[in-house]
Amino acid sequence: MSTTQPTKLQLGRIGDAVARHDATPKVTGEFAYSSDLNAAGMLWGVTVRSPHAHARIVELDISQAMRMAGVHAVLTHADVPGQKTYGLEFADQPVLAAERVRYYGEPVALVAAEEPEQARRAAAAVRVEYEVIEPVVDMERATEQPPLHTDRPTMAHGYREDERPNVVRHLVIRHGDPDAEGDITVSGVYDVGIQDQAFLGPESGLAVPDGEGGVDVYVATQWLHVDRDQVAPCLGLPPEMVRIHLAGVGGAFGGREDLSMQIHGAMLALQTTRPVKIVYNREESFFGHVHRHPARIWCEHRATRAGELVSVRIRILLDGGAYASSSTAVASNAACFAIGPYKVANALIESTCVYTNNPPCGAMRGFGAVQTCFAAEAQMDKLADELGIDPVELRLLNALGSGDTLPTGQVIEGVLPTAEVIRRAAALPVPDAEPLPRDAIRLPGGAGNTTRGEGVKRGVGFAVGFKNICYSEGFDDFTAARVLLRADGSAEIHCASAEVGQGVTDVILQVARTELGTDDVVLAAPGTAAVGSAGSASASRMTWMAAGAVRDACRAALEEQKRSGGEVDVERIYRHPRTTPLDPETGQVTGERAHVSFAVAAMRVVAEVDVDLGLTRVVWIGTAQDVGKAINPLAVEGQIEGGTAQGLGLALMEEIRTRDGLITNASFTDYLIPTALDMPPVESELIEDAEPDAPYGVKGVGEPPTVVSSAAVVSALRDATGRELARIPVRPDDVVGL
């Protein structure tokens, strides 16, 4: 096969569209992901998981497994050296189930053996006797059923007190007079299925004992320091004896915020005094991380005859599954962005997240705003239809912008160009309908060859979505960066921000090159030992936060070097503007802001639907997104295209299916994500309007496309079919009307 000489890659500064620094090792196969790691004397770890969604553990017998060939350790809850439970925000999840399992696939025991097959055989030989308990699986009935957590772990944290069993968080936002009457009312009930992050790199990592009682864990994660702060107490170790190192991350999308194998691997490594590798397979990955919350959303929109929103009432119910994870924040986000980027003087928004025995849910790209955007935008389409107003015009008429007030009472101080993104997206020219005949792959049903054009109708949809950037509600959100600036002007940057594929590494390098005025900059491998916390690669915050921290550290290093000469080593911590909690009773801001900043996107979608079979081909997508400042426009486009694909997947095909809490499609054979034949071209317009509070004016760009695209795709399907389509993913049955 032919080869070409590599052209020298441009080393970008802020604003340059440049290739990723890690692209070359990724295309050659040299880049080491967390599942690629090995160490001398390494053992393989396997997790024994619950086959039930809800059961009491009557007996746990590891004796046979212990005697099997190659086995070095079999551990249960009794072997957890320190704190028995952990959690991202609330320590409600057992490291290994003790007396009770609360979800299908919950870890019960661990095995380490010389060979993977030996570990699997021993895991199969761990005998667990369960007494099955009736599972709580209906989120609407959960608050009337026996509590899954009798100690109510999320109560008394400044949230609204709610006595009902199984409430994770209940939130009410009351704004103006929600009873205000309009000329016209539209209402609807909307459902969202459970979406999986479906990152391609399975949960995996390597734990290496240091010989002095401590441990090094090499893992794919989104937040190194918060991992350490959960792992160390469970191991009964001080934080400095647990070092978390970022291994190559094969995608994250929120699914790596919570721990997977970190404590388990470390326990096995410390017990056996050997390095231990754990790699989940695809089925196990569905049990290994939290998912996007399924939701039911009741909406009532009241408007004047001219189309001005008068009052919006929305009730949101989210199924958090067995453990809290980040559900309290998701419930809040769902509520805060429930109405969409529209002005409304009166609103009543109620959001409840409940515990059930369904798969645990937590962070996924869009974080609560995806579910409500789907519902609210369906309502806006319905309202436009009812009023006979063009849906784009209706949205423009109500568009929220700087200086306007949110239902939480927060006044938008930064940039929010809602009207601008609507106009720009609406102005993108829609491609003409293609003539027939066409090859099957250019028709709904694709390679399945189901139509030559029969039953195919075309629809054009539109939607707008927004969400917050950075952490909210008083969270102390910061990022540390360290710059080692040498006498010759070269520099080494330390920042524990997780490169999950989004390109934050390049952001850091571009900022440092710009600030230091040199191309001679390297980024050290991220770890907890060398630098302070970077916070999480989530909430569309990492670009903003890392850019701020690296900028400040670079500037401080230059000053320091000017003063002292020679080599300097400077660490700086960057904080975004402070937020404050929402009032637990009214949901109104208690200070200036509950959220730091917002980003908005509008999207136009052309779809063809085979209305007889209920199959869809999305033909074209055009979008305009508020990005603040694009540090690397090539990477921003990539985030928009990829984020759009995930929303399209939720609209059309992606759903974790359960029966009595048991996942019935834990595979890529039956959990479908979009293929190359499912994604249309995406035309994206970047609206660069610098955010005043942000370094270089940046805004996060990862989430808005996912927030808006599910809504926009379904809007096109509604246009094509004339059906309400109040549930995502839209099933062929829904389109056909069965």
Partner 1 sequence: MKIRLVVNGEAREADVWAGESLLTALRDTLELPGSKNACEQGECGSCSVLLDGDLVCACLVLAAQADGHEVTTVEGLRSEDGLHRVQQAFVEAGAVQCGFCTPGLVVATAALLERVPSPSDDVIREELSGNLCRCTGYAKIFDAVRLAASRA
Partner 2 sequence: MEVITPRTLDEALRLKSERPDARPIAGGTDLLVELNFDRTRPETILNLAEVPELKGWVRENGSLRLGAGLTYTEAMAPELAELLPALAEASRTVGSPQIRNRGTIGGNLGTASPAGDAHPPLLVEDATVEIGSARGVRTLPLTEFFLGPKRNALAEDELVLAVRVDPGRQPQTFMKVGPRNAMVIAVCSLAVGIDRVRGELRAAYGSAGPVPALVTAPLDAREDFPDLVAGASSPIDDVRGTAAYRRHALRVLTKRALDRVFV
**Chain contacts with partner 2 (rule: CB under 8 A):** 120, 124, 281, 283, 441, 444-452, 454-455, 612-615, 617, 652-653, 657, 664-665, 669-670, 672, 674-678, 731-733, 736, 738
CB of 20 to partner 1, least distance (A): 6
CB of 609 to partner 2, least distance (A): 12
CB of 551 to partner 1, least distance (A): 24
- Return the number of the residue (300 or 612) whose C-beta is nearest partner 2: 612
Out of 122, 123, 504, 673, point to the residue binding partner 1 (CB under 8 A).
Answer: 673
Q: What sign does the CA torsion over 555, 561, 564, 570 have?
A: positive
CB of 365 to partner 1, least distance (A): 11
Residue 46: CB atoms within 10 A of its CB come to 26
Taking residues 98 to 117 in sequence order and writing x for each that binds partner 1 by CB under 8 A, - otherwise, the string is -----------------xxx
- Return the number of the residue (17 or 460) whose C-beta is nearest partner 1: 17
Buried-exposed string 678-692: b where 16+ CB fall within 10 A, e elsewhere: bbbebbbbbbbbebe
Give residues with Cβ within 8 angstroms of 513, minimum separation 6.
11, 12, 13, 519, 521
Out of 11, 15, 16, 22, point to the residue binding partner 1 (CB under 8 A).
Answer: 22
Q: Which does 250 bind (CB under 5 to 8 A by kind): partner 2, partner 1, none?
A: partner 1
Q: Which does 532 bind (CB under 5 to 8 A by kind): partner 2, partner 1, none?
A: none
Pick out residues in 496-555 that bind partner 1 (CB under 8 A): 500-503
Please identify, among the stretches 82-90, 494-502, 538-546, 577-585, the one whose residues bind partner 1 according to the rule CB under 8 A: 494-502
Out of 40, 156, 676, 738, point to the residue binding partner 1 (CB under 8 A).
Answer: 676
Q: Does 236 bind partner 1 (CB under 8 A)?
A: no
Please identify, among the stretches 390-398, 413-421, 517-525, 664-672, the one whose residues bind partner 1 according to the rule CB under 8 A: 664-672
CB of 241 to partner 1, least distance (A): 29
Q: DSSP class of residue 77?
A: G
Q: Which does 450 bind (CB under 5 to 8 A by kind): partner 2, partner 1, none?
A: partner 2
Pick out residues in 414-443 that bind partner 1 (CB under 8 A): 439, 441-442
CB of 446 to partner 2, least distance (A): 3
- Return the number of the residue (406 or 605) whose C-beta is nearest partner 2: 605
- Return the number of the residue (155 or 736) whose C-beta is nearest partner 2: 736
Inter-CA distances, 447 with 77, 439, 676, Å? 49, 9, 12
Q: Does 669 bind partner 1 (CB under 8 A)?
A: yes
Q: Which does 635 bind (CB under 5 to 8 A by kind): partner 1, partner 2, none?
A: partner 1
Q: In angstroms, rounded to a whole number, what is the distance separating the alpha carbons of residues 225 and 248?
A: 17
CB of 666 to partner 2, least distance (A): 10
**DSSP states of 682-712 as a string?**
EEEEEE----TTSGGG----SSHHHHHHHHH
Q: Which does 219 bind (CB under 5 to 8 A by kind): partner 2, partner 1, none?
A: none
Contact 259, 326 (CB under 8 A): no
The residue type at 171: L
Q: Residue 576's Cα: distance from chain center in Å?
A: 21
Inter-CA distances, 377 with 28, 510, 541, 709, 723, Å? 43, 37, 25, 11, 15
Please identify, among the stretches 278-286, 296-304, 371-379, 477-485, the one whose residues bind partner 1 according to the rule CB under 8 A: 278-286
Q: In angstroms, rounded to a whole number, what is the distance separating the alpha carbons of residues 598 and 626?
A: 9
Give residues with Cβ within 8 angstroms of 93, minimum separation 6.
85, 86, 87, 322, 323, 324, 360
**DSSP states of 221-269 as a string?**
-SBHHHHHHHHHHHHT--GGGEEEEEPB----TTTTSS-SSHHHHHHHH
**DSSP states of 456-511 as a string?**
EEEEEEEEEEEEEES--TT---EEEEEEEE-TTS-EEEE--B--SSS-HHHHHHHH
Out of 187, 281, 449, 664, point to the residue binding partner 1 (CB under 8 A).
Answer: 281
Which of 169, 466, 103 minimizes the C-alpha distance to 330?
169
Out of 303, 651, 682, 726, point to the residue binding partner 1 (CB under 8 A).
Answer: 682
Q: Which does 478 bind (CB under 5 to 8 A by kind): partner 2, partner 1, none?
A: none
Q: DSSP class of residue 440?
A: G
Q: Does 681 bind partner 1 (CB under 8 A)?
A: yes
CB of 124 to partner 2, least distance (A): 8
- Return the number of the residue (188 or 455) whose C-beta is nearest partner 2: 455
Q: Which does 408 bind (CB under 5 to 8 A by kind): partner 2, partner 1, none?
A: none
CB of 32 to partner 1, least distance (A): 7
CB of 665 to partner 2, least distance (A): 5
- Cα-Cα end-to-end distance for the chain: 53
Q: Which does 299 bind (CB under 5 to 8 A by kind): partner 2, partner 1, none?
A: none
Q: What sign does the CA torsion over 561, 563, 566, 569 have?
A: negative
Pick out residues in 24-53 that bind partner 1 (CB under 8 A): 24, 26-33, 35-36
CB of 364 to partner 1, least distance (A): 12
CB of 478 to partner 1, least distance (A): 26
Q: Which does 127 bind (CB under 5 to 8 A by kind): partner 1, partner 2, none?
A: none
Give the chain's largest Cα–Cα span.
77
Residue 132: CB atoms within 10 A of its CB come to 13
- Return the number of the residue (457 or 486) whose C-beta is nearest partner 2: 457
Inter-CA distances, 86 with 256, 290, 394, 653, Å? 15, 14, 47, 33
CB of 44 to partner 2, least distance (A): 13
The residue type at 275: P
Q: Which does 695 bind (CB under 5 to 8 A by kind): partner 1, partner 2, none?
A: none
Contact 687, 420 (CB under 8 A): yes
For residue 217, the SS3 value is strand
Q: In angstroms, rounded to a whole number, what is the distance separating the alpha carbons of residues 609 and 630?
A: 35
- Return the number of the residue (184 or 440) whose C-beta is nearest partner 2: 440
- Return the number of the residue (545 or 613) whose C-beta is nearest partner 2: 613
The residue type at 189: V
- Return the number of the residue (642 or 695) whose C-beta is nearest partner 1: 642
Out of 23, 78, 522, 525, point to the residue binding partner 1 (CB under 8 A).
Answer: 23
Q: Residue 340's Cα: distance from chain center in Å?
A: 19
| 437 prior amide bond cis, ω within 30 | yes
Q: Which does 518 bind (CB under 5 to 8 A by kind): partner 1, partner 2, none?
A: none
Q: In angstroms, rounded to a whole number, what is the distance separating the alpha carbons of residues 442 and 463?
A: 25
Pick out residues in 305-364 that bind partner 1 (CB under 8 A): none
Out of 529, 638, 690, 731, point to the residue binding partner 1 (CB under 8 A).
Answer: 638
The total number of residues written for the chain in this structure? 738
Out of 89, 571, 608, 637, point to the residue binding partner 1 (CB under 8 A).
Answer: 637
Please identify, among the stretches 169-177, 546-554, 591-599, 661-669, the one whose residues bind partner 1 according to the rule CB under 8 A: 661-669
For residue 312, the SS3 value is strand
- Return the number of the residue (253 or 374) whose C-beta is nearest partner 1: 253
Q: Environment class of residue 569 by beta-carbon count within 10 Å: exposed (0-12), middle (13-18) or buried (19+)?
A: middle
Q: In angstroms, rounded to a whole number, what is the distance separating the alpha carbons of residues 86 and 262?
A: 11
# residues contacting partner 1 (CB under 8 A):
71
Q: In angstroms, rounded to a whole number, what is the distance separating the alpha carbons of residues 610 and 449?
A: 12
CB of 546 to partner 2, least distance (A): 36
